[in-house]
Amino acid sequence: MPFDAAGRQEKRARVAVAVSGGVDSLCALLLLRRAGYDVLALHGLFLPEQSASRPDGAADPLPGLEAACRTLDIPLHTVDLRAVFQREVIDPFARAYAEGRTPNPCALCNRAVKFGALLDAALALGADKLATGHYARLLPPCRRDADALPVLAAARDSVKDQSYFLSLVPAARLQRALFPLADQDKAQSVALVAGAGLRVPLPRESQDICFVPDDEVAYRPFLAAQWRAQGMEPPGAGPVLLAERPEDGAGETREIGRHQGLWRYTEGQRKGLGIAHSEALYVLRKDRVANALIVGPRSLLGMAACVTGPANILVPPEDWPEQVWARLRHRQRAAPARARLEARDRLHITLAAPQFPSAPGQVAALYDADGRVLAGGVVERLE
């Protein structure tokens, strides 16, 4: 059961396992314990005012984690990272929405919190590595250089693969990571934990955004409270402009309604526009300068290219293949593309064929044909 990029079981290493209370992190803990590692469990307090309840309605996982760790005879440590989580995840999330972008807080959390502050806490406790319940792999370096680092890659289970969410984590931080679930699927994880007689404190699948209930009505007061706390006043109502087909109107636009704030919409959205029209309309783009929402038929929806902010380079660009695979949203398959670095390490990604659009604030992750993650960046502009 190899856990490190070289295929060796580093049993002399002391490993901290990040345990949230879900089945995946418990399975990672169990596998490392059985493999003979010197293991400790590490539970981070992330959610604001974490206590007896959570935004998703689940109970506090800490008592259940304490019971599981007693069963496995593993010490459990907790670390309060709520201030870090607020500063590095929630505040940027709220600002991005106010600016009309569609953020990906999980990717920011992995970079700044889980493999940032939580990894630092693990090292302070004497751990050499931090293991998590992510479904991802670490492969041997592409180069034989002595200082070359392991490379992040997609998990064996393509359905549960989480390498996309890890693509912003620096290579030096990934060197300290272990992913025990790299070569198994979710069903195996569930069966292993159940077979060990461990009760899962948070049996439900985690939602996309852990700190806000997965409900549009609940988003509004949450974001409003965050904006007030940051002294922000996001733009309000504005025009909805219909983009005409070139053959109908030379690509011009005309106003067909009003929106109630650009933050309520994302590129590619069809439902919830509240506009009656002769055919289905989609959000094509958001004009943040004019506070206008541009909509149009499905035929105008394709995206040909995008540009990211400063990229997290995991494989040297000179080692990239001519054709890469670009994953531009979590639920999208990677598409063939070409990529180049522009000024200040910004990625310019040109798709081989137009794709369903990403959105500014989402992550763009580049892969090679073997599933290695070459680089990741936050989308700034669609083309």
Active-site positions read 109, 210
The response to whether 39 counts as a known ligand-binding position is: no
Q: What are phi and psi of 214, to 5 degrees?
A: -75, 70
The response to whether 23 counts as a known ligand-binding position is: yes
> How would you label 116-143 residue by residue, b for 16+ Cβ within 10 Å and e otherwise?
bbbbebbeeeebbbbbbbbbbbbbebbe
The response to whether 237 counts as a known ligand-binding position is: no
Find out whether 125 and 16 touch, Cβ atoms under 8 Å: yes
SS3 25: helix
The response to whether 133 counts as a known ligand-binding position is: yes
Cα–Cα dist 59/62, whole Å: 9
The response to whether 208 counts as a known ligand-binding position is: no
Q: Long-range contacts of range 349-355, CB-CB < 8 Å, 24 or more positions apart?
A: 349/305, 349/306, 349/307, 349/308, 350/304, 350/305, 351/303, 351/304, 351/305, 351/326, 352/323, 354/302, 354/303, 354/304, 355/302, 355/303, 355/328
Q: Where does the chain have alpha helices with state H? A: 23-34, 62-72, 82-85, 91-98, 105-109, 119-124, 163-166, 171-174, 186-195, 216-229, 246-249
The response to whether 261 counts as a known ligand-binding position is: no
The response to whether 20 counts as a known ligand-binding position is: yes
Residues flagged as binding site: 18-25, 133
Residues flagged as binding site for ATP: 18-25, 133
